[in-house]
Structure 1
Amino acid sequence: MDTYKSWGESDILNIKMNSMYNWNKIPIQHRQYLKTFWHTHQRNVDFQLNELQAYQELMEERIQIEETNFIKYTKQFGNEFDIVNNYPNLFRSSFLVQTLALVEYQLREISLRIEIYNHQKFSISDLRGSSDLEKAKTYLKKTIELNFSTLNPEWSFLLNCYKLRNSIVHNQSEYEDESHVSKFVKSQNGLKIKEARQDIKRDKELSSFSIEDRSINDELLAKTKLFFDKIYNYILENNAI
C-alpha cells in the first residue's frame, strides 16, 4: 500500500492541479513527500540507464576481443554465417530495442503516478495510439499540459529510433526507400544501408540496415536521460503533482 493513501482522500487525491488544483493547500510535509517521490523516481531511471550503459560497455569490449575469433569462425563455416558483422549488429539492435522498452515503461509509470496523485478520471490505457510513446504524449498533455515540443530534440530522436525499432522487430530491419526510416538511416553515420531487394508480392523495393558501431546507442542513452530530466523538471517546477 502506498504511503500517500494513509493521508486520506481529502489530503492528496482531491487536491486540484494548476487552475483546478491548489498546490498551496497541500500540507508542507505532503508536498515534500511528493517532491521526494519524483526525485526518487528520477534517480531510479538514471540508475537503470547506467546499468544499460555498463552492459553496453561490457559487450562492446567483448565484441572487440572476440573479433579475431569471429573471423576464424567465418572462414571455418563459410561467409553465409558472416559472424564478424552479424553478431555485433544483433547485439546493437537488441540493445536499441531494450532501451526503448525502458522509455515506454517509464512513461507509463509517470502517467500512472499522475493519474493516482491527481485523481484523474481516465488512464493512459484508455487512450488510442500506435505506441505507448504516443499515448503517453497525449496523456501528459491532457493531464499536466506538458508540451512535448519543449522536449526536443530528444523527443524527435526517440521517435526516429522507435521507427528503427519497429523495422527491426517487425520487418527484420527492412524498410521502403521513401519512408521516414530511410531518411533517418541515411542521416546516421553508424547505420549501414544494405543492398536493396525487390519484394515481388508488394511490387516494392525494400532496403535494410545494420548497426555498424555503438554511436547510435550512445546517443540514444544520452538523449533518453536528457528527455526524462526535462519531464521531471517540468513536473517539479510546475507543481504538476
Structure 2
Amino acid sequence: MDRPAWAPDEVDMNRPSVARVYDYYLGGSHNFEADRRFAEQILGVLPEMASVAQANRAFLRRVVRHLCAQGITQFLDLGSGIPTAGNVHEIAAAEIPDARVLYVDNDPIAVVHSRALLDEVDRTEVLAADLTEPSRVLDNPLTRTHLDFSRPIAVLMVSVLHFVPDEARPADLVRTYLEAMAPGSHLVISHATAEGGHLGADEAQSIYNRDRSPNAMRMRSTEEVAELFGDLQLLEPGVVRIPLWRPESPVGPEVQRYPGLAGVARR
C-alpha cells in the first residue's frame, strides 16, 4: 500500500486507529484500508454506527453553543480526533469570536491535520499528548500559555472515555483535570453504552476487544457514567441518551436503546 503524503512515517497503516475509524464513520477520507475493514466489522453488527457518530457531533454542537451562552470562552478538547465539519473552534467562534480552544490528541494523523487546518486560525492550538497522562497535558507550556486557568474552562471528553479501561481509573483521571480548573468550569462527557438491550452494542464492544482492534472498549451504564462526574453538579437533564441531551427537535421513543450516553456538569 502506497503511503499518502498526509500520513506521517511513524503511522502503522496496517493497524486501525480509533481516530481514523471514527473519521470513516463520519464519511471522512483520512483513513486506511485497515481502518475501513475494522469499521465495516462494526457496521455489520451495529449498522447505525455512522448515524451514532453524527448524533455525537450534533451533541457536541449543542453543548458548545450552550456553554458559550453561559459565558464559557475556553475549551479543552481531549481526544479531539481528526478534524471534520463543525469543529469546536468553529462552533464557539460563531457565538464568541474571541473563544480559545486547545485540541489534544495522541493520534499522529489527527495532530497533523488539526495543525494544518488551524495554521492560520487565531486563538486555537493543537497539542500532541495522551489524555490519560494529565500532567503532560496540564503542565505543558502550550496549555499554560494558551488557556487561562484562573477563569472557567470547558473540558470536553466526547466519545473517548470508553477507550479508558477501569484499571486506568477514569474517574480519577477526570477528577485530576477538573481539580485544575477554576470554579465555573464545565465537564462534558459522551460515552458508549450497551445498556438497554441493544445486542449490536454488545457485539461491537466484543469486536473492539479482539486482537488487532484500535483500542479496547469499555462500555458503561448510566450509573457508571454518572459516577465519572464525581461531585460535580450535573446540569439538567442529567446523564441521558445522547439525542436526549437538550434536543433541538422531537426525539422518538426508540432512542431509549440508543448506544450512547451524554452529560454535562459544572464545577
TM-score, normalised via structure 1 length: 0.24
**Structure ranking higher on relative contact order (CA contacts 8 Å, 6+ apart):** 1
Normalising by structure 2, report the TM-score. Answer: 0.22
Larger radius of gyration: 1
- Judging by fraction of residues, say which structure has more helix: 1
